[in-house]
Amino acid sequence: MTASGSKEAIRIVGVVGAGQMGNGIAHVAALSGLEVVLTDLRAEALTQALATIGKNLDRQVQKGAVTEADRMAALGRIRTTAETSALGPCDIVIEAATEREEIKTTILKGLIPHLKPDAIIATNTSSISITRLAAVTDRPHQVIGMHFMNPVPVMKLVEVIRGIATDDATFGAVQQLAERMGKIVALAEDYPAFIVNRILVPMINEAAFALMEGVGSVAAIDTAMKLGTNQPMGPLELGDFIGLDTCLAIMRVLQGGMGDSKYRPCPLLVKYVEAGWLGRKTKRGFYDYRGETPLATR
């Protein structure tokens, strides 16, 4: 802390989880001039993350958004490791694991022995209570939600969510960090699914109900929403992009947290998840992605 009560500027960022969100967060942090420690228990995930970051940076160079020198410098700022202890020097650690509360709480508890006392803990949760996650740590006042949108290098928004104990210094430091990464902050209250997913995922769930009830086919529903509401993706296509397991998890958080039957997950959505048809990442969801062109599964 400085004498004024605000935190020193963040210089080293830790990211826990090298999946789609984690590697995207590492990408934008490194590109903004920050040192990054990217951790994952799986060595293959770290290898894949570096390959993805390199490919995405190449694409930015080709588009003229990033110089070759900036690309090389960004890659040089990212260190990968399976060791949680390597997060010790970090000013902030951003948890970007699977959207399951028990996984996140286990990770947060495991971080504590390795972090310096003034380190901030941020979680990239898209729906889970920040207050509840903060309560398992030794520093609830330094825990905050930092919900990036997918794909992180492209999407400008970061939802910042304060838990009931989050202090002003932590919020100020995280807002400054997000802006340094080139993001625009929307401040959300700590209620289930926050702003974006509180509105978006029930729409995807309702599209699944419309499909189950025969209101329209997959293609008809997505075409109607794209052309009728000027959205770049239809809701079923977007559900596949997000991951149907993630959509279902968010609906269950909403149903449990709000206690309202309007958040009941669609049985057809549940069936797709039970089948392992989770969308693009498993090559099948509302669309089948195993061929050259996605084909509707209904």
Which residues participate in catalysis according to the annotation? 126, 147, 159, 197
Beta bridge partners of 284: 279, 288
Other Cβ atoms closer than 10 A to 235: 26
**Was 257 annotated as part of a binding site?**
no
To the question of whether residue 126 is assigned a binding role by annotation, the answer is yes
Burial 43-75 (b: 16+ CB within 10 A, else e): eebbeebbebbeebbeebbeeeebeeebbeebe
- Backbone φ, ψ for residue 186 (5° rounding): -115, 120
d(CA 48, CA 27): 13
Q: Are strands 287-288 and 295-296 parallel, antiparallel or unpaired?
A: antiparallel
Query: CA 55, CA 48: separation in Å to the nearest integer?
Result: 10
| 18 is known to lie in a ligand binding site | yes
**Taking the CA of residue 6 as centre, how many other CA atoms within 13 Å lie in the half-sphere pointing to its CB?**
10
Tell whether residue 21 is among the known ligand binding residues: yes
Strands 157-162 and 143-148: antiparallel
Determine if residue 109 is labeled as part of a ligand binding site: no
The response to whether 22 counts as a known ligand-binding position is yes
Q: Is 217 annotated as a binding residue?
A: no
Residue 237 in tokens? 């296509």
Q: Is 70 annotated as a binding residue?
A: no
Alpha helices (H) in 181-229, listed in sequence order:
196-212, 218-229
63 marked as part of a ligand binding site: no
- 240 annotated to bind ligand: no
User: Does 104 belong to an annotated binding site?
Assistant: yes
Cα separation values, 59 from 56, 63, 64, 153, 154, Å: 5, 6, 9, 11, 11
Q: Is 99 annotated as a binding residue?
A: yes
Task: List binding-site positions.
Answer: 17-22, 40, 99, 104, 126, 150, 281
Residue ranges for the binding site for NAD(+)? 17-22, 40, 99, 104, 126, 150, 281
